[in-house]
Amino acid sequence: MAPASSEILDNPLTRQIHELNLMVARIFNQRVKHLGLTRTQWQTLFMLRRKDGQTQTELAERLVMARPPLGKVVDRLEREGWVERREDGNDRRVKRIFLTPKVGPLIDPLAELVEGICIEATRNMTERQRTTLHDLLDIAHTNLSEVISRTGNCD
């Protein structure tokens, strides 16, 4: 017998993942409010820190985000002096996004802040439970990445 539609909409796994995501965003946003950055902006900066000079399309794919909302995030980061857009050397139609020196001093403190949130989230877990949680989330990530690969991008 198939589950009722209300059971599908209230799936504990998807609800918990969604609520955890919202809580992490809320805590992060509260702790960096004085910097004028949001979690989405930080994630964009972090992805550029990993590989500077990405296109908006590449960033959107890595962030699992649609290009138009990411464009607004990048616009704001550019206005605030966190990133700059530059023409691609091979194709003038393509713009690459680069970090500015303004970001440098914030990378380590913000990474520590994120690590602190993770420590708080797993505070009452044993090391084995934390390892199991990470392993299971990695499996779920791989599974969903495969679905995205089969069905196309997030737009």
Tens digit of pLDDT for each residue in 44-94?
Answer: 998 999 999 999 999 998 888 898 999 999 999 999 999 999 998 888 888
Q: Residue 124's pLDDT is what? A: 96
Which class would CATH give 32-121? Answer: mainly alpha
pLDDT at residue 5, rounded to an integer: 53
pLDDT band at 14, cuts 50/70/90? confident
Q: How far apart are CA 56 and CA 81, in angstroms?
A: 17
Q: H-helix or E-strand containing 86?
A: strand 83-87
Strand partners for 98:
84
